Homo-oligomer: A and B are copies of this chain.
Amino acid sequence: MPFRSIGRGTLLAPASLAMLGCAQEAGAPNIITVAWLGTVNSEPPMLSVSIRPGRFSYGIIDRTGEFTVNLVSRELLKAADFCGVRSGRDVDKFASCGLHALPAEGLTLAPCIQESPLYLSCLVRSKLELGSHHMFLAEIVAVGAQERLLDERGRLDLSRAGLMAYSHGEYVPVGGPEGFFGYSVARDEVLQRRMPGIR
């Protein structure tokens, strides 16, 4: 057997990494960094986010039913880590990290983070209490991208974002594309157009 058993654990990797923006009517907006999230549906677009119920942001999201998902660039990494280990009960994370809250399209309270390359506006549709974490199922109602991520034809080019992921306790960068969905069965002319120089 080539595999060694290493017990049971949350070893799915790499995982998405995101800073969630949230806010109540009164009080400063807050940020919590999470990796236990993922896309769960295409139509309508939905994602899940799991948060420990003791976290400060959990209560805010649970009460307001909205949050933003802000992707993490290399420049944001240290702030992202900080917003994952500190609590909004103790510090104003926007101020501490030099970040700026902006209104998020489609939401009433939760702000997006101006310094993030791309954000998704999310409305909570349901919640499941799974154990250590409670999972919010949310619909993605809007997406905003920095102008610099759009190419000359207005198409989103995420390779310009310098995105980071989470892998077994560490933060890792993602590199440029090495294939596209369907490339293994694509015709030569498509390969030449989309991946010139690669067979």
Contacts and interface: CB of A to CB of B under 8 A. Distances in A.
Interface of A: 1-16, 18, 35-48, 50, 69, 71, 74, 77-79, 81-82, 84-86, 102, 105, 112, 114, 118-120, 128, 130-133, 135, 137, 140-147, 150, 156, 158-159, 163-165, 167-185
B41 A132 contact: yes
Contacts of A14: 14, 16, 163, 165, 174
A199 to B, nearest CB: 10
- Count copies of this chain in the complex: 2
Nearest to A176: B172
A112 B42 CA distance: 27
A40 B177 CA distance: 27
Given A12-B47, A142-B8, A174-B172, A182 B147 contact: no
Given A3-B102, A181-B169, A132 B42 contact: yes
